[in-house]
Chains A and B, each alone.
Chain A
Amino acid sequence: MSVQNIKSMSHVSPFYVFFLVHSMQIGVGIFGFQRYIAMDAGYNAWITVILTGLLIHILIWMLYRILLDGGKPRDIIDVHRQYFGKYIGNLLSWAFLVYFLFMGITVLRTYIEVIQIWMFPTLITWPVALFFILIVTYGIFNGFRVVTGIAFLGVVLPFGLILTLISPLEFANYDRILPVEFILGEQTAAVKTMTLSFIGFESLAFYLPFINGAQKSQKWAHAGHGLTTLMYLAVTLVTFFYYSRLHLERVIYPSLSLWKVLELPVIERFEYVGLSMWLLVVMPNIIISVWVVSRGMKKLLRTKQRHTLFFTAGTLFLFTIAFETREAIDNLNNHVSTVGFYIIFCYVPALFILTAIIRRFRSDGKKNSGPSV
């Protein structure tokens, strides 16, 4: 069960996959995804959330079939090497690392942008980015367990924010989602958009060997993704009840604007509290991305993770401060999302089919080899 080349000190129990998957999916996308899916599928888009959620369950299952070879967990780098050989395989792995690096950049830069828009217009990007990256580096420096710990806290501590969804219901008009229709064309477009909010779980492909009893973790991965789906569904429904459709199309961050209606006796504007708490939600996103990149580079370059970590952190910092305008940040989000979409909806199924073929071929060769797909 255990993997020899990784010290068991850095292993975590399967249960934590729940937090790793869930925390990586929820990030800055939740601030505004409802607007985009509503543009694709109108107020029937809440069906899309459920639909996409179900589709991704299948992809998680596929990912586990690819990564678990006869019960032994391996990471995507091993898979690439085995299927495509050293050179092409490593090249594909590098592509993955670049993708994860940009995912980290996107989350960090978008979060800083939101703070600049909503709280402190005069805030300079680089000190905040530096502060973030130092915490992230400090965390990863102490191993995968700390990364998992941050993911755990990033789910548990801000969980209370879900209660803030109750306040907008004072102005809810439940009839807004009527008439309910299912139009396939609309839904397909919206599924593509919605997928972007679920990406991040594919980091599983890198940390699975660090899970004690990786096989047992699959149910937790599904549960973590299930919670994400439920949360997105709740946020979508509350948004739809609260905004009229044409209004929603004009609001850039509908979830944040929801907080504008929340009034507490001591705090006039809840955004300040909410956005600060969101730091805890964003942190796992960045820390897992950076961990993936540094870990992947370590394996590909056969060097110490400490070195690759500093390199990754430096690159992350430089790229983050390079994006200045709303447009540039929006483009960055779009590009990373598009790449993410193709990775999980095209590459993962392709790899799955390839795995199935290879295993069938192998079990035909030697009759007694491990279980097929």
Chain B
Amino acid sequence: MVKKIRVLLFSFLSGCLLLTGCVEPHILDEVQIVHATGYDFVDEGHIRGTISIPVYPPDEAIHSETLTAVSSATREIRLLLDAQSNKPLHTGKVTVVLFDRKLAENGLMRIIDTFVRDPRIGMRIQLAIVEGSSTKNLLETTYPMEVDTAMYISELIEQNIERQNIPQSNFHVYLSNFYGQGRDPFLPILRQEGNAVRVTGLALLKEDRYVATLPLKDCFLLKILLERFGEGSYQVNLNQDEHAMLRNLESDTDWEVENASSNPEFKVNVSLSGRISEYSGDTLGDPKIEEIRAAAITQLEEDLNNLIKHFQELNVDPAGFGDQVRQRDPDFSDEEWDKIFPDVPVEFKVNLTIKETGIEE
């Protein structure tokens, strides 16, 4: 009896293995893999969606193709795009999502919501804002640097984050700044120039709306405030035609907040260390290095002061000054912070160590 039941159970279990093919398969050759998506503003209430798909024609090089549809809702755009595609569209490999600047001025969250809900979307995908042209144009162009347009754009942004002046940014960083109390989000801005794309700076957003652009050179200042190890470069002007370039700066920012719960006052100590990678004068002796160091500190303090003034005028807080207050005040509220941020006194103190000056004196 027992043996019989055992045999019966065993055969049942083996039979179950055959049931494992019960779901819809997604075979690579039978789906269109979307690599990039772009959204443009058409008019109030209408958006144009463009997707970039890699195609693999026989005996020919791989290239990217685009499909476009206009509608009032992102979900419907998807429907209209599917209507143009010979194979089902698959969103699991999206690496870049682009937004037209005009669209960003009207708020991004209603579009991003689709991506937030989709379990197939990874958190490392890049979001960016396009200025100067539509995202459709940008995605349609073939770039000689890389066959796949989406790959070109995402690698371009990532390179600028890892090695240059752009602070860490991706889907997750955007969401955590958007939802984070006392922080405002930012996204990289792209501009198409001939057959190349250039990162021109950061778009500062209030809630999910575009407010202003931070030029690339100032992005470095934001990066040292946000990150511990910021790689990037910074130009120090000694006088009219004498300047030096600082690179590979490591930064450590120490925030002091007084009266956090009533009238916050900031003392921000920025400790930097890096090397001089370029100097326009003749020789770099010790007194010269000291001179550069002193000039750099004055210039950095001035630039940081201007930066925070700029943020206060716009009332955007991408550096997270509000977050520093939140850490010290349990009753922190975003509404309250919005009111007081423009008048909060901030004092910067920069400390700079020059570690190396390159391989020549």
Interface residues in chain A, defined as those with a beta carbon under 8 Å from any beta carbon in chain B:
117-118, 120, 122-124, 127, 130-131, 134-135, 137-138, 141, 171, 173, 175, 178-179, 181, 242-247, 250, 257, 260-261, 263, 268-269, 271, 306
Contacts and interface: CB of A to CB of B under 8 A. Distances in A.
Interface in B1-26: 2, 5-6, 9-10, 12-13, 16, 19, 22-24
B333 to A, nearest CB: 12
Contacts of B22: 123-124, 127
Interface stretch (B197-205, B307-315, B324-332): B324-332
Contact of B179 (A134, A173, A244, A261): A244
Contacts of B178: 247
B110 interface: no
A39 B22 CA distance: 38
B124 interface: yes
Interface stretch (B169-177, B241-249, B335-343): B169-177
B330 A179 contact: yes
B288 interface: no
Interface in B176-223: 176-181, 183
B28 to A, nearest CB: 12
A179 B180 contact: no
A252 to B, nearest CB: 10
Interface stretch (B115-123, B264-272, B274-282): B115-123
Given A134-B9, A138-B10, A179-B330, A268 B23 contact: no
A173 B24 CA distance: 40
A178 B327 contact: yes
Contacts of B2: 306
A264 B323 CA distance: 32
Given A127-B16, A141-B5, 4 more contacts: A135-B13, A171-B168, A263-B124, A306-B2
A141 B9 contact: yes
Query: Quick one: which of A117, A123, A269 has the most chain B CB within 10 A?
Result: A269
Contact of B122 (A130, A178, A250, A261): A261
A173 B178 CA distance: 14
A122 B180 contact: no
B3 to A, nearest CB: 12
A137 B6 CA distance: 10
A134 B323 CA distance: 53
B327 A175 contact: yes
B19 A131 contact: yes
Interface in B148-186: 168, 172-173, 175-181, 183
Contact of A244 (B16, B116, B123, B180): B180
A141 B6 contact: yes
B9 A179 contact: no
Contacts of A250: 116, 179
A163 B175 CA distance: 24
B24 A122 contact: yes
A269 B323 CA distance: 31
B4 to A, nearest CB: 12
Contacts of A178: 326-328
Contacts of B75: none
Query: Quick one: which of B5, B16, B23, B175 has the most chain A CB within 10 A?
Result: B23
B16 A134 contact: yes
Contact of A271 (B9, B119, B326): B119
Contacts of A244: 176-177, 179-181, 183
A269 B91 CA distance: 12
Contacts of A175: 323, 327
Nearest to B24: A122
B87 interface: no
B46 interface: no
A137 B16 CA distance: 14
